Amino acid sequence: MMLNCFEASRLLSEAQERPLILRERVTLGIHLSWCSGCRNFRRHMHALRTISRGYGQRRDTDDERVGKR
């Protein structure tokens, strides 16, 4: 069974909320082994998660304000 990028990115998102079952982890792993786009997506998602955990909401508001100017 092959995943397309849409399914792979959906699984990557769901993996933040729940443990993936074995079949999902295997098919996702196969997809990531040849798809650099989804590997990048996964890296960005991990980075976003780390940032939001580390900086909190006040910093998010500040960043948004800076981005608009």
28: contact with Zn ion by CB under 5 A: no
**Candidate residues 24, 35, 39, 45; the one interacting with Zn ion per rule CB under 5 A:** 35
**Candidate residues 11, 12, 38, 42; the one interacting with Zn ion per rule CB under 5 A:** 38
45: contact with Zn ion by CB under 5 A: no
Q: Read out DSSP for 1-67?
A: ----HHHHHHHHHHHHHSPPPHHHHHHHHHHHHH-HHHHHHHHHHHHHHHHHHHHHHHHHHHHHHHH
8: contact with Zn ion by CB under 5 A: yes
For 68, which DSSP code? Answer: H
51: contact with Zn ion by CB under 5 A: no
Residues contributing to the site for Zn ion (CB under 5 A) = 5, 8, 35, 37-38
